[in-house]
Amino acid sequence: MADRRRINAPSGGTSAPIFASTVVKNPKFLQSLRPTRTRQPDQLRKIFLKTGLTPSASGSAYLEIPLLLPTTAQSLIPSRSSLKLTCAVHGPKPLPRSAPFSPHLLLTTTVKFAPFAARARRGYIRDSSERDLGVHLETALRGVVIGERWPKSGVDVIVTVIEGEEDGWWGDDITAGANKGGGWGLMSVLAGCITVASAAIADAGIDCVDLVTGGVAAIVRNPDAKGKGRDDGNGEDSYTVLDPCPAEHQEIIATCVVGYLAGRDEITELWVKGEPGATTEKLVDRAVHAASATATVLREVVKEAVELKYRDVIGGLNGGLKASTFSSEVEMAG
């Protein structure tokens, strides 16, 4: 079925290039490329967060988890992916006349991956995983926004994933063929979505009970790296890590994402994937820990943005007469 509103791929169908070094049966060489986790199990990756990227929107934010080490460009195969998200918030705006009465703010969330977000090219039409993420994001935000203050209005939260987290190491896809389990990358993407949407909502000036942040924790098993982490009693060599990068772990047993309000100690969204068994509660605890670490970054960013926005007012309050120099001539004429 061709999409007649877009330019389509050649009818013969195309395939991603296959690199010779991965085809030659040399598993040792391939394994040597496998990335490993160099962080402590409870150490998060650095976050870059900035608000006000889209001036045409009411509020916007950009989140990036940059690569720790700049990859030396020796190979054309991208070694790993970094997370890059943009979020735009439009509204609150009046609902269309045809819409039924709503006593509170209607929240619409959309999560869309760019075609170049992952190793395999993605389509323009939203697929089920993107819809799923949208629903999870809506759940996380719904409990935070004070919707009663905007009856008969709606707000759109749109997150674009410019670059997403991977579901696993690319070498495993080649050697094992089918990917085992999968979908681990979505968990980190969702946590990023929650944080970036929270920053954008704050930038838009929509009233919230608190700033919500996303956090991820995972139970992983690395057969090669014994004794590297704490033993959680779940297995002989499995341990819990915060902010997992799926490419760095050979096997992930379970992952948990929370949307967490650090100020009120509340969870608005909880998503557990895999088989955590008896350690579920502990896993959720660790995810909350990750979320509260992110909250400190988010608070700083929002505070900085507010200071920048209201610099004139703050300056005016401190400097008295200084404020009048900022007001335009039109006002003074009155």
Residues 64 to 123: which contact another protein by CB under 8 A?
73-78, 80-82, 86-90, 93, 108, 110, 112, 114-119, 121
* Cβ 158 to another protein shortest distance, Å: 3
Q: Are 126 and 161 in contact (CB under 8 A)?
A: no
Please report where in the chains the tokens 């070498």 appear, as a residue.
171
Stretch that binds another protein, among 54-62, 255-263, 265-273, 279-287 (CB under 8 A): 54-62
Which CB, 109 or 238, lies closer to another protein?
A: 109
Which CB, 78 or 263, lies closer to another protein?
A: 78
Among 40, 313, 319, 322, which residue interacts with another protein (rule: CB under 8 A)?
313
* Cβ 38 to another protein shortest distance, Å: 19
Which CB, 86 or 240, lies closer to another protein?
A: 86
320 forms part of the interface with another protein (CB under 8 A): no
CA dihedral sign, ordered 86, 91, 95, 100: positive
Which CB, 81 or 255, lies closer to another protein?
A: 81
Among 34, 42, 53, 221, which residue interacts with another protein (rule: CB under 8 A)?
53
296 forms part of the interface with another protein (CB under 8 A): no
Strand 238-242: give its sheet, edge to edge.
238-242, 212-221, 251-261, 266-274
Q: Helix 311-319 to helix 280-309 angle, to the nearest 10 degrees?
A: 60
The residues near 295 (Cβ < 8 Å, ≥ 6 apart) are 211, 213, 260, 262
* The pairing of beta strand 106-113 with beta strand 251-261: unpaired
Cβ neighbours of 318 (radius 10 Å): 9
* Cβ 182 to another protein shortest distance, Å: 18
204 forms part of the interface with another protein (CB under 8 A): no
319 forms part of the interface with another protein (CB under 8 A): no
Residue 190's closest CA among 239, 143, 255?
A: 255
Q: What are phi and psi of 91, to 5 degrees?
A: 125, -170
Please report where in the chains the tokens 């994933």 appear, as a residue.
161
- Please give the structure tokens belonging to residue 51: 């608000």
274 forms part of the interface with another protein (CB under 8 A): no
Task: Kindly state the number of chain residues that form the binding site for another protein, as judged by CB under 8 A.
Answer: 71
Stretch that binds another protein, among 52-60, 183-191, 244-252, 284-292 (CB under 8 A): 52-60
195 forms part of the interface with another protein (CB under 8 A): no
Stretch that binds another protein, among 8-16, 172-180, 252-260, 267-275 (CB under 8 A): 8-16
CA distance 149 to 264: 20
Stretch that binds another protein, among 40-48, 209-217, 246-254, 311-319 (CB under 8 A): 311-319
Phi-psi map region of 320: left, alpha, beta (phi>0 left; psi -120 to 50 alpha): left
Cβ neighbours of 286 (radius 10 Å): 25
Among 1, 2, 12, 278, which residue interacts with another protein (rule: CB under 8 A)?
12
Residue 137's closest CA among 272, 286, 225, 259?
A: 259
321 forms part of the interface with another protein (CB under 8 A): no
Task: Kindly identify the residues of this chain, within the stretch 172-191, that bind another protein according to CB under 8 A.
Answer: none
Stretch that binds another protein, among 14-22, 188-196, 270-278, 279-287 (CB under 8 A): 14-22
